[in-house]
Amino acid sequence: MRAFRRLLRLPILVASILGCAVLITAVGIAVGPHSKEALFAVDRERIDVDLDLSPGAQRTEVYDSVGNEIGILRYDIDRQLVKIGEVPDDVLATLLAVEDNKFWTHNGVDIRAISRAMIQNLTSGAITQGGSTITQQIVKLRVVGNESSFSRKIREAVLAARLEEEFSKEEILEFYLNEIYFGNGAYGLQAASETYFGKNVNELDVGDAAFLAGLIRSPGIYDGFDDVEIVGKRRSMSLQSALDAEIISADDRDRFEQRGLPDRNRSPQRTDETLRKDYFLDEVTEALLAHPALGETYQERFAKVYNGGLRVWTTFDPTLQRHMEEAVQDVLPEGTGDFEVAIASVDPATGAVRAFIGGPEFADFQFNLVTQGKRQPGSSFKTYVLAAAIEKAGLFPFDTISGMGPCTFPNPPNVDYEVTNFNENKGAVGTVQFAVLKSSNCGFVRLGLRTGLDNVVEVANRLLGRGSEDSFRPYLSMSLGAQEVTPLEQAVAYAAIANGGLRMEPFLISKIEDASGSVLYQHVPRGRRAVKATTAAWVSEVLANNVVAGTGRRAQLESGQPSAGKTGTAQDFSDAWYVGFTPHLSTSVWMGHPEEKVSMTDVQGREGTGGWVPARIWGSYMTRVLEQQEIIPLPKPPPPQRKSQLLYLAEEKCAVDIDLGVERGLMQFDLPCAMAQVDLDAGIFLPHPEANCRMTELSATGIHRDEYLNCALVPNRNPVTTTTEPPADDENGT
C-alpha cells in the first residue's frame, strides 16, 4: 500500500524537480544581462548594511527589597532575555530540528533545505516547511523585511552569509531565541514559556518545545487559544522531527502527543497576584517615568521604562505590607464600610518607603491616598508647632501656657478667630507637655502665636519637605492642622524627628540596571537637617509621654518598646490620624472617606477620633513589625539651661478667680498675664502677690468709681463689678 502511494506521488515529485529547474533557468536568464550591476549592488550592500544583533524591546522587571519580583512593566511587547545556556539541551535540539537542522554546519544558507522545502510544500498541498535558515530569518526580521521578490531573497542570502562571518553561531542562536514572536504578545522563548505553560525556560521539555516550534512560522494562528486542530498538527510534525533527530523515542513522542494543548494565558502577569499592578508599583512606575537617569525627555524615559528591559530594585517590604493588612483586619474585622484606611511606613535612617496601603482595590480606585490624598491633619500637626516653639523660640515642654477655652484671637482684617477645645472642654493652665497630652486647641493656638506663625511655617515646611510653591500659610488655624497634608508627608516628617532632626529624602527605587546588567542608578541616601538634634529629642520625649499618658495611649506597644506619636482629628470627625515612630520605623495611619469629607460619628459605636481606630491600627501593626526586634530607647534631651516660664501673648489677659467668701463665692478678674502665677495642680491662674485688681464701687453719693486694690485685699472689700479692660492711664498694666 505504501509503495502504491509513493508511486502515485512520483509524477508530483518529477513535476516539482522540473519546476525548480525551470525557476533556476528563468532566474539565470533574468539576472544574466544585468549580472554586473546586480553583483555590484549586492556587494555594496554586503559592505554598507549595518548588521545589529542588539536585543529588541524588552519588558522591565521590578523587584522588592529582598529580590522577589513584584511587577512587570511593558507596553505591547513581552520579552525577557535568556542566555543560551539556560535552555535545556533537548529543547534547543528540538527547535533546531524543526527550524534549521543544519544550523551548526551551514554558513548562513542551506541550499538543500530550500529545495527540500519547495518539494515538501508542493507535495503536501500547503506550506508546511520553510527553507530559510535561522540566520536568514534574522536578516529578514532586522533588514530585508517580508517583500516577496527574488531580489529580496538574494539580499537575504548574502547578508546571512555576512552575519555568519561577523557573529558566532552561539550569538546568532541566542539572539534568535530572544527575538522571535510566538503569538499572544510573547516575544522570545522566556515570554513564550510563561504565556503558554506558566514556566521558566529551564523547566521546558521536548513536548513544550515541539508546541512552540510549531508557532514560529505563523505565530498568530493560536491567538485566543482556540485553533487547536492546526496547532495540534504542527506539534505532531515537530515531535516527528525530534524523533527523526533521535532526540526522543517513539514512546516519548506518543506520550507528548497525549498531552493537552495550552488553553489559556498562564503568564505570571495574569495569574500571580503579587505581579498585578497595585499602589506601590504604580508609584514606582511614576517615579521611573520622571527619573533623570533614564533620559532627558519623557519620551526617552517612557521607551526605557516600557521597552528597555530594565531591572528595578525597590524599597518595598512585603512582610510589612502583610502586617499592615493584618492590622487593619484585626482592628476593623467588620471592614471599613464607606471609609478607608491609608497607611505609610518610612525608614527614619534612610528615607526608604517600606510599604503602604493606598486605598481600596487598585483596579477599582487607582487614587493613591498615601501620596495624593491631601487631608487636614488635625492635632497631629501640633507636633510641628511644638518643634518650632523649641527650635525657633527657645521654648521648652516644661514651660507653662494657658489651655483655657473657649478662646478668641484677633484676626484682622477678618473676624476674630474663635476656638474651642475638644468636646468644648474648659481646659486648664499647664505645661506645654500637658497641652500635648490633652491635645489642647486653645493652648496650641497660643503656642503658635507665641512662637511666631512664620517660624511654624518654616519648620513645618522643612519637616514635611514643602517648597515655596506649596508652602504652608501663616494662618491662625494652621496650629490646629487646618492645612492639608498626605500620609506619606506625615510619615516622612515624623521620621525626621526619629532620626535626630535629619530629614531623609523619601525614595522608592534603590537601584536600576539596564538590559545588559549595567547600573544606571544606585540610590545614595540624601538628608537635610530640618531641626536640631536637641529639638528632636525634646519632641520625642513629649510624644513618648503622650503615648504613655495622653491621647495616644491605645498605640502603646506591649513589648515595652518605647514609641512616640500624636493623634489628630479634623473638624466634624472627617479625618482621623495617628502618626508615630520608634527608632526602627515611622508610620502614619489615616482614616476617612476616600472621596469627600464625611463625618465619622459612629465607628464601632464611637466617634471616629485619631485615638480610637488609627491609634489601635498603629499599635497592632507596629507590634507585628517589631516582634523579635531589639528594644531601642528613644533619645533623651539634654538638661535644660533655665527654669519654667509662663508663656503668654502681648496684651493677653489671664483670668484669676478670687474667693469672696461663702456668701459671695468666686469672682473672676482679668489680669495682665505678667501679673499672674500658675497653680499647676489645680490648672488655674493665681494673682501675683503684687498684682492689683480693678473694682467698680458705688460711692456714698451714688456714683460708680473704679478703684485698684491689691488682689489679696479684695475679699475684704465689696466690689460691685469688675472689668476686663485696664484704665487708659494705667502705665504699669496692673
Is 50 exceeded by the pLDDT of residue 6?
A: no
Residue 8's pLDDT is what? 43
Residue 620's pLDDT is what? 98
Residue appearing with cell numbers 489671664: 654
Helix pair angle (613-625, 318-331), 10° resolution: 140
Per-residue pLDDT tens digits for 397-421: 999 999 999 999 999 999 999 999 9
Pick the closest to residue 594 from 363, 369, 376 (CA basis): 369
Q: Are 373 and 342 in contact (CB under 8 A)?
A: yes
Tally DSSP H helices, then E strands, for the chain.
Answer: 22, 23
Residue 640's pLDDT is what? 92
Residue 361's pLDDT is what? 82
Residue appearing with cell numbers 492639608: 484
More confident residue, 718 or 481: 481
What average pLDDT does range 609-616 have in this prediction?
A: 97
Q: Alpha helix locations (H) across 64-110?
A: 89-99
Cα separation, 216 vs 219, whole angstroms = 5
φ/ψ (deg, to 5) at 576 = -125, 135
Cα separation, 156 vs 227, whole angstroms = 32
What average pLDDT does range 138-151 have in this prediction?
A: 77
Per-residue pLDDT tens digits for 360-411: 888 778 799 999 999 999 999 999 999 999 999 999 999 999 999 999 999 9
Per-residue pLDDT tens digits for 436-465: 999 999 999 999 999 999 999 999 999 999
Per-residue pLDDT tens digits for 187-212: 999 999 999 999 999 999 999 999 99
Residue 27's pLDDT is what? 43
Altogether, the residues listed in the chain come to a count of 734
Lowest mean pLDDT among 170-174, 264-268, 452-456, 586-590: 264-268
Residue 717's pLDDT is what? 72
Per-residue pLDDT tens digits for 78-131: 999 999 999 999 999 999 999 999 999 999 888 776 666 556 655 555 444 556
Residue 14's pLDDT is what? 40
Residue 3's pLDDT is what? 44
For the chain, domain boundaries:
378-625, 650-716
Residue 531 to residues 337, 460, 503, Cα–Cα distance (Å):
40, 10, 9
Cα separation, 212 vs 196, whole angstroms = 9
The percent of residues above 70 in pLDDT, for the chain, comes to: 87
Per-residue pLDDT tens digits for 664-706: 788 899 999 999 999 999 999 999 999 999 887 766 666 777 8
Q: Are 55 and 515 in contact (CB under 8 A)?
A: yes
Type of residue numbered 82 = V
Residue 447's pLDDT is what? 98
Cα separation, 353 vs 274, whole angstroms = 18
Lowest mean pLDDT among 36-40, 498-502, 549-553: 36-40
Residue 538's pLDDT is what? 98
Type of residue numbered 228 = V
Dihedral sign for Cα atoms in the order 536, 539, 545, 547:
negative
Is 70 exceeded by the pLDDT of residue 274?
A: no
Domain 378-625 has CATH 3.40.710.10: yes
The whole-chain average pLDDT of the chain stands at 88
The percent of residues above 90 in pLDDT, for the chain, comes to: 71
pTM (predicted TM-score)? 0.83
Rg from Cα positions in the chain: 40
464-475 burial code (b ≥16 CB/10 A, e <16): bbbeeeeebeeb
Helix pair angle (89-99, 228-244), 10° resolution: 100
Cα separation, 60 vs 74, whole angstroms = 6
More confident residue, 217 or 378: 378
Residue 548's pLDDT is what? 97
Check residue 144 and report its DSSP letter.
Answer: I
Is 90 exceeded by the pLDDT of residue 314?
A: yes
Residue 665's pLDDT is what? 85
Residue 714's pLDDT is what? 85
Residue 20's pLDDT is what? 46
Residue appearing with cell numbers 495616644: 552
Residue 48's pLDDT is what? 61
323 by DSSP, 3-state: which? Answer: helix
Spatial CB neighbours of 273, under 8 Å, sequence gap ≥ 6: none
Residue 56's pLDDT is what? 87
Residue 238's pLDDT is what? 97
Cα separation, 389 vs 368, whole angstroms = 33
Residue 32's pLDDT is what? 45
Cα separation, 63 vs 199, whole angstroms = 19
Residue appearing with cell numbers 531580489: 151
